[in-house]
Chain A
Amino acid sequence: MEGITELKQLNEQVVMYLSREKGEPDWMLKKRLYSLSVFESKPIPTWGVDLSELKLDELAYYVKPDVEKVSSLSDLPADLKKTFEALGIPEAERNFLGGNGIMYQSEVIYERMKGGLANQGVIFMSMDEAVKKYPDIVQKYFMTRCVPPTYHKFAALNGAIWSGGTFLYVPKGVKVSMPIQVYYLVDHPSMGQFEHTIIVAEDDASVEYIEGCSAPMYVKGGLHAGVVEIFVGRNARVRATTIQNWNKNMYNLGTKRAIVEEGGKIEWVEASLGSKVTMLYPASVLAGRGARAEHFYVSMAGDGQVLEAGAKVAHAASDTSAYVLSRSISKGSGRSVYRGEVKVNSGAMGSRSSVKCDSLLISDESSTATFPTEEVYESDADVSHEATAGRIAEEQLFYLMSRGFSEEEARGLIVRGFMEPVTKKIPLEYAVEFNKIVETEVKNGVA
């Protein structure tokens, strides 16, 4: 990648140039070009959040980081080292991570895995590297049956210009006990980050993958349109957690989809704070008998933010089950939307789906909405959807104040409790930090 520093246009020449610079095999270039044609043929979606202010032609589609890849966190330049120390990443690596990676701008600049995992055949590396080192495995999974380029416009965009992301492969029967984490940092006034991640858990394997995302205050715009494709084998388990605190000028239009085989289980955990607009609908295809999906989502939309999210669950086999829990908080002029879809295919006997979404409104101007869709083609399916929207009750405030909490502290405590069913799913260190940010925001939002 010697030649490129930034790619500010998107066309066939640029895509061919990027692919060549990355030294990719021919099939990948073809996939990129096909994706580009799909991207160009599809209009910007208008069925959800207003995307008219998203200026795609002002984006840098690829930004080469100004640091070389390092093999130890201590080799990072001082300013980045400071950033990651403030985020607690070196400490997390020491204490509870099985693998740790950093993607900065458009490239993975660091990755490390605890030694024992490599001996068990676990592969954890940047997608760019995996394309070259394990082309046969990657070709089998990359934008084939999980997220094809035709999935939607921004998936196609990712297919065309993707760079970075993670390839995580867990062989049959291997249970990775410590989470694998990758941190995504954007530090550019207006770029697109298009990482592409594939997680494969073979039969009976299990793994937990955590993504952290952030961008500093000065960022003026930009787009994050990553793709995560997950393959959960028979009786395998994958938990994919994202803790997102993008800059509040960015568009977060990621794509996440998992295919779950017989007896397998996918757990999606999403904690969202940042972005100007989020549209994110993690999807679970329950392809094998008894496959399960759990979707946990917590978010806080503040002034000027529209955070829209929801689960897409397809029951494509018998005895499959899904549980979806969404807890959203809106403050200032923030808006939280749940848009979800549950589909029970013909032949998927004994399917069960339960969707619960609860919204908490902190201010008078904040708003929330719920758009659930159900398509059920089996009469014995048990599909339920419950939604609530409310405010902090005065009697709750009074109760806690009568215990000595100030009104602000009481609000913070109530909000923490509201988020708890989701935050308990994320590692304690991050949950504490997440709670702190939200509680501070809620206190400020009222005062």
Chain B
Amino acid sequence: MMKMVLIVEQLCVAAKSGKDILKGVSFSLPDGEVRVIMGPNGSGKSTLALTLAGSPDFLVKSGRATFDGVDLLSLTPDERARRGLFLAFQKQVEIPGVPLRDMIWEAYRARWSGPSRPSMIDFRKKLSATANFLSLPEAFLERGVNEGFSGGEAKKSEILQMFMLQPKLAILDEVDSGLDVDSLKVVADAIRRFVEGGSSALIITHHFNLLNYVEPDVVYVMKGGKIVDEGDINLAKIIETEGYSRWGVE
């Protein structure tokens, strides 16, 4: 049997306002696989991503999520992160005055605590190389986290953090939105390398483009707070040309 990094069972989630958003989401993600969630706006994709990362904006009403064998929903967001869950945010959250380099360094030290912790020199080398790979200049690392970042820079910054923290599972919430052709290619290459290293990814996207570079094992379609269909990459191709009309969405 395949080892599952993430199992989500009948997850029902409401917003703080009380409005039900997720209405029984179930799926699982085997270790090392890439799975994609597509769906029209408002179908609950970001709510799923944020709930899995532990956002205080949402309330789990019922259902379960198991991450790497443990009950995910009982963990605080930082415990989830330290166990190897990563969320690339769709929304740009500014932490003014905290240089990106410093934030990543401190997160890196927390992630790799213990005797096997890499040195600061290793960290700096790896950070420079990754930034370079993502076409981010060194000076970018000295800027405050998301402080005045363009949309594209913010996405790259999320991918840079993912690469440095090497989570077991990365949930990528629309990391391909608002990227120009060159940036999309760079980001997609980085994601491909990341999964080639053995990690898993749950990719939320509206576009087929990204999937040209990172081939998913399974594509889910989400609508109205539920997963309503699943298939292989061809499903994504259909959505790219037809939209969600076959699932009753205009």
Binding site for B on A (CB under 8 A): 393-396, 398-407, 409-410, 413-414, 416-421
A405:B95 contact, CB within 8 angstroms = no
The answer to the question of B96 belonging to the interface, with a C-beta cut-off of 8 Å to chain A, is yes
A-B contact pairs, 27 of them (CB 8 A): A394-B57, A396-B94, A398-B54, A398-B77, A400-B103, A401-B76, A401-B81, A402-B54, A403-B78, A403-B81, A403-B165, A404-B82, A404-B111, A405-B78, A405-B110, A407-B76, A409-B78, A409-B106, A409-B110, A413-B103, A414-B98, A417-B97, A417-B98, A418-B96, A419-B97, A420-B144, A421-B97
Known: A404-B81, A406-B78, A417-B144. A399 touches B97 (CB 8 A): no
- Chain B positions 88 through 114: 1 when the CB is less than 8 Å from some CB of chain A, otherwise 0: 010101111110000100110011000
- Per the 8 Å Cβ criterion, residues 91-139 of B in contact with A are 91, 93-98, 103, 106-107, 110-111
Report the minimal beta-carbon distance from A423 to chain B, rounded to whole angstroms.
9
Known: A402-B77, A402-B87. A420 touches B97 (CB 8 A): yes
A413:B77 contact, CB within 8 angstroms = no
The number of residues on chain B lying at the interface, defined by a beta carbon within 8 Å of a beta carbon of chain A, is 30
- Chain B positions 199 through 228: 1 when the CB is less than 8 Å from some CB of chain A, otherwise 0: 000000000000000000000000000000
The answer to the question of B169 belonging to the interface, with a C-beta cut-off of 8 Å to chain A, is no
Q: Which residues of B contact A406 (CB under 8 A)?
A: 78
Known: A413-B95, A420-B97. A403 touches B144 (CB 8 A): no
- Per the 8 Å Cβ criterion, residues 51-103 of B in contact with A are 53-57, 76-78, 80-82, 86-87, 89, 91, 93-98, 103
| Closest residue on chain B to residue A416 by CB atoms | B98
- Starting from the known contacts A420-B97, A420-B144, 10 additional A-B residue pairs (CB-CB under 8 Å) come to A398-B53, A401-B77, A402-B80, A403-B165, A404-B81, A404-B107, A405-B106, A405-B107, A409-B106, A417-B95
Binding site for A on B (CB under 8 A): 53-57, 76-78, 80-82, 86-87, 89, 91, 93-98, 103, 106-107, 110-111, 144-145, 161, 165
Report the minimal beta-carbon distance from B112 to chain A, rounded to whole angstroms.
10
Q: Which residues of A contact B82 (CB under 8 A)?
A: 404
Q: Which residues of B contact A414 (CB under 8 A)?
A: 95, 98
Report the minimal beta-carbon distance from A197 to chain B, rounded to whole angstroms.
31
Query: Which 5 A-B residue pairings sit nearest by Cβ, starting from the closest?
Result: A417-B97, A420-B97, A417-B98, A404-B81, A401-B77
Alpha-carbon gap, A419 to B89, bound state (A): 25
The residue that A416 contacts in the complex, of B78, B81, B93, B97, with Cβ under 8 A, is B97
B93:A401 contact, CB within 8 angstroms = no
| Closest residue on chain B to residue A422 by CB atoms | B97
The residue that B165 contacts in the complex, of A398, A400, A404, A416, with Cβ under 8 A, is A404
Report the minimal beta-carbon distance from B169 to chain A, rounded to whole angstroms.
13
Alpha-carbon gap, A240 to B111, bound state (A): 41
Known: A414-B98, A417-B95, A418-B96. A399 touches B107 (CB 8 A): no
Alpha-carbon gap, A432 to B145, bound state (A): 19
Q: Which residues of A contact B77 (CB under 8 A)?
A: 398, 401-402
Report the minimal beta-carbon distance from B197 to chain A, rounded to whole angstroms.
19
| Closest residue on chain B to residue A414 by CB atoms | B95
Report the minimal beta-carbon distance from A216 to chain B, rounded to whole angstroms.
32
Known: A399-B89, A417-B98. A407 touches B56 (CB 8 A): no
Q: Which residues of B contact A404 (CB under 8 A)?
A: 78, 81-82, 107, 110-111, 165
